[in-house]
Amino acid sequence: MPLDQYRRDIHYLRISLTDACNLRCVYCMPEHMTFRPRHELLSDDELRRLITLFGRLGFKKIRFTGGEPTLRPALVDLVRHATTTAGIANVGLTTNGVLLDQLAQPLRDAGLTSVNISLDSLDEAKFRHLTRWGNLRDVQAGLAAAARAGLRVKLNAVVCRGVNDGADVVELARLTLERDWQVRFIEQMPFGNNAAFQTRGVVHETELLGVLRAAFGPLELIDGGRLDGEARLYRLPGARGAIGFISPVSQPFCADCNRVRLTADGVLRLCLLRDNEVNLLTLLRTGASDDDLEACVREAIHHKPWGHGLAQHVVPASRGMSEIGG
Ligand code: SAM
Ligand code: SF4
């Protein structure tokens, strides 16, 4: 089991399958984003090799993300490879849900059991404003298909001040009254040249709790506030599902971090919000053996930074969220 120098057990790999996307969320990327050419990205074979290697290293959990992972033609095969890799007990997918209508059942058949779908508003116009290009009905069809296929559903909403921090949060939370879903509110994080916009737009957990209390009454804290992944969970009175808060800005959870990220262009990113990276693509393409790769990954993990530096105004500069994999 890889431990870092602070003795954190690192066993969760998030893999970005592409930096490209079919939406242009305002908090994630500019409308005229350029994407990396195919040959600069890990091939399907390279991905399969790395997944097997991380399983051997002691990693237990993999989440496919992006960019938009459903744009990767081999997504279902890669999920099948991950779910059948020795050591990997848990495979997840984070998607905007636009293409999930057709993919939910094949993904379920490939062994996927749960899916995180990003949905920032149930209001069509607001959804379009936040995603620039999105059509809410596509995501709703994706959600319905995921539920039909028997996938466990978590919804992720990034909250932006002045856009979806009031009625939208209330309506998203209301979904948990009837459905056994987790609806999670994410604090917006700053990256590179979008940092000022993102920092201005962030809405902290305490403020959102106030909005929800005003609408629904007191919320029940689940599990004494112990994090479920990165989320602190609450329940609305009488609800079947749960509300989660992912609050990296106001309540950093770096001490409990158990993850690293593999970008679509084959770089191991040791902390989402720090620019420390190790290039595995070059190693793969210059004939490194599995032992060489393993040694390199172990060494990189040992040097995983303690935590982010947002409180000291340290903002990652080299990549935006869609180029890392959220
Ligand atoms: N395209 C997929 C999606 O939207 O679910 C997967 C990739 S996306 C980068 C992963 C998650 O990061 C999404 O839930 C998205 O809302 C979130 N995200 C994007 N930019 C963010 C930011 N600046 N701060 C916090 N979360 C962000
Ligand atoms: Fe695309 Fe996801 Fe970024 Fe939105 S958050 S632009 S869906 S990668």
Tens-place pLDDT, residues 6-45: 999 999 999 999 999 999 999 999 999 999 999 999 999 9
For residue 5, being part of any structural domain is answered with: no
Q: 43-46 contacts: CB < 8 A, separation 24 or more?
A: 44/74, 44/77, 44/78, 46/266, 46/281, 46/284
Q: Which parts of the chain have pLDDT scores under 70?
A: none
pTM: 0.97
CATH of the domain at 101: 3.20.20.70
Q: How far is the CA of 288 from the centre of ligand 1 (A)?
A: 33
Contact between 117 and 100 under an 8 Å Cβ cutoff? The reply is yes
Nearest CA to ligand 1 atom 21: 28
> Is the CB of residue 66 below 6 angstroms from any atom belonging to ligand 2?
yes
Residue whose tokens read 């990256």: 191
For residue 7, being part of any structural domain is answered with: no
Q: Is 65 exposed, middle or buried (0-12, 13-18, 19+ CB in 10 A)?
A: buried
In the chain, the N- to C-terminal Cα span, in Å, equals 23
Collapsing DSSP to helix, strand or coil, 143 comes out as: helix
Rounded CA gap, 187 and 203, in Å? 6
For residue 242, being part of any structural domain is answered with: yes
For residue 303, being part of any structural domain is answered with: yes
Tell me what pLDDT residue 198 has.
Answer: 85
Domain range for residue 318? 12-323
Q: Give 112-137 as a DSSP string.
A: --EEEEE---SSHHHHHHHHSS--HH
For residue 218, being part of any structural domain is answered with: yes
Q: How far is the CA of 95 from the centre of ligand 2 (A)?
A: 8
Tell me what pLDDT residue 1 has.
Answer: 72
For residue 238, being part of any structural domain is answered with: yes
Tell me what pLDDT residue 163 has.
Answer: 96
> Do β-strands 152-159 and 114-118 pair in parallel, antiparallel, or remain unpaired?
parallel
Rounded CA gap, 149 and 165, in Å? 31
Measuring CA to CA, which residue among 245, 247, 248 is closest to residue 235?
245
For residue 4, being part of any structural domain is answered with: no
Q: How far is the CA of 295 from the centre of ligand 1 (A)?
A: 31
Contact between 96 and 139 under an 8 Å Cβ cutoff? The reply is yes
> Is the CB of residue 85 below 6 angstroms from any atom belonging to ligand 1?
no
Rounded CA gap, 147 and 193, in Å? 38
User: Considering the chain, what is the average pLDDT of its residues?
Assistant: 96
Rounded CA gap, 142 and 99, in Å? 7
**Residue 63, beta-bridge partner list:** 14, 92
Contact between 192 and 315 under an 8 Å Cβ cutoff? The reply is yes
Q: Is 257 exposed, middle or buried (0-12, 13-18, 19+ CB in 10 A)?
A: buried
Collapsing DSSP to helix, strand or coil, 92 comes out as: strand
Counted domains in the chain: 1
Pick from 118, 187, 199 the residue to mutate for probing ligand 1's pocket: most ligand atoms within 8 Å of its CB: 118
For residue 236, being part of any structural domain is answered with: yes
Tell me what pLDDT residue 193 has.
Answer: 76
